[in-house]
Amino acid sequence: MMIEQTKYEKLFSTPLFRFHVPDHAKLNKTLLEEGEALRARSGGVEKSNRGGWHSAGNLFEEEMPGTTILRGLAQEAVMNATRKCGAKADLDELRLKLFAWMNANPVGGYNAPHTHPGAHWSGVYYVSQPKVESGNSGMIEFLDPRTDLPNWRLLNASAFKLKKKIRPMPGEMVIFPSYLVHWVYPNEADMERVSVAFNATFKRKK
């Protein structure tokens, strides 16, 4: 006697999207220059950053060439992710708000575990990612939001792992649901790790 599978669904899964900007060198150079100008103007703020610089205010409201380009890319990626995850809402009837900031982590700098309450998606674009031979430097790690799964660890199934870490390269953008707990490992390289993070929130048009 045999049994036949009739359907396979992924219930309550957490999507993670990765995008790549093919010709990113010029854009990243411009973003680094714009970041230097912002740092000369402001000491930044303290959020999840530990030992690093976090820009103040909404970076995407700054009228600078690189930032403007990145804002368009972020919007395109967010809309793509929203459609890919099966959203049934008419996105033309919704207003998308993007709020961004720049992070610069020197040696030892990192971002503590946190979420972004109130937003739908969060994203990170990698401007400068120092190369390392080994270790966790520059890695971003996501933690499973489900808490009652210790018995599943025995099966070593990727869908039920406690955490997932990746090391994106310059020119790469990662997008994930804002409720997902994440953090960034300390930078172990001499060169700064620079990224632009953002939140994306949909609201009904008035």
**CATH annotation of 17-204:** 2.60.120.620
Quick: pLDDT tens for 83-99.
999 889 999 999 999 99
pTM of the model: 0.94
CA 19 remoteness from chain centre: 11
Q: How far apart are CA 12 and CA 79, in angstroms?
A: 21
Instruction: Determine contact, residues 171/21, Cβ cutoff 8 Å.
Output: yes
Quick: pLDDT tens for 137-187.
999 999 999 877 888 888 988 888 889 999 999 999 999 999 999 999 999
> Where along the chain do its domains lie?
17-204
At residue 101 the predicted structure's pLDDT band, cuts being 50, 70 and 90, is very high
